[in-house]
Amino acid sequence: MKTLKIAYSNILILLLAGGLWGLTTCNEAAVTSPPTPAPDPTAELQKVVEDYIATYQAREDWGKLLSFYSDSLYFIDINMKYEFHDKTGFMEFYDWPNPQFSKLTPDQEHFLVEDLIVKDNTAIIKGRFQPFYWKGDLKEWTELFTMWLHFDDDHKIIRQYDFIKYPKQFLPE
């Protein structure tokens, strides 16, 4: 019987010790917060690209659109054969403030996105322009376009390649 009492005592001590250890482990887990995960650079860039697209689609805030670009922007429009090595040339080419342009309605998106890929420091946007007025004439450039945007570490566009299928009358000879 004495052996049985010792065995019960040892089991009781083990159970109590295990229970107390479990309680301290639980308490420590409750007090210690998990480490904060590092920000996902692609997710951050995804937000910037979505804001860029929304700004471009609205085509109302020229200053905001320009804020996405680095001053040392390298820009190429492949089909028009335009190439600029700074933001100034890009500004003259895009020329949003030109009053000759207007959307069909103020709330119309200037283009629709059909595909978007954001990886590392690059975004690829594939879409179609919506009809618009240029110099009072209705323009319907509904062919696909693709834009490649390359960003620096501050999420500013440093290189842009436009692949736009323009109507023949706009293309250089």
Q: Which of 76, 78, 77, 54 is nearest to 65 (CA)?
A: 54
Q: Which pair of tokens denotes residue 96? A: 């949003």
- How confident is the model at residue 173, as a pLDDT? 66
Q: CATH fold of 41-170, please?
A: Nuclear Transport Factor 2; Chain: A, (3.10.450)
On whether the CB atoms of residues 74 and 64 are closer than 8 A, the answer is no
Cβ(35)–Cβ(44) below 8 Å:
no
**Cα separation of 48 and 19, whole Å?**
51
Rounded CA gap, 80 and 165, in Å?
9
The pair of structure tokens assigned to 46 is: 């995804």
- In this structure, how many other beta carbons lie within 10 angstroms of the beta carbon of residue 81? 9
| Whether this model's pTM surpasses 0.85 | no
Consecutive 10-residue runs of the chain (173 residues): their mean pLDDT? Answer: 48 45 48 70 92 96 97 95 94 92 94 96 96 91 92 97 85 69
Predicted local distance difference test score (pLDDT) of residue 143: 85
Where do we find the tokens 């190429």?
A: 76
Say what the pLDDT of residue 42 is.
82
Q: What is the pLDDT of residue 17?
A: 46
**pLDDT of res. 155:** 97
In the block, tokens 């240029």 appear at: 134
Rounded to an integer, what distance in angstroms lies between the CA atom of residue 15 and that of residue 147? Answer: 67
User: In DSSP terms, which residues pair with 144 in a beta bridge?
Assistant: 128
Residue owning tokens 């706009």: 170
Structural domain boundaries in the chain: 1-36, 41-170
Count of CA atoms in the C-beta half-sphere (13 A) of 162: 18
Neighbouring residues of 119: CB distance < 8 A, sequence distance ≥ 6: 42
What's the confidence (pLDDT) of residue 118? 97
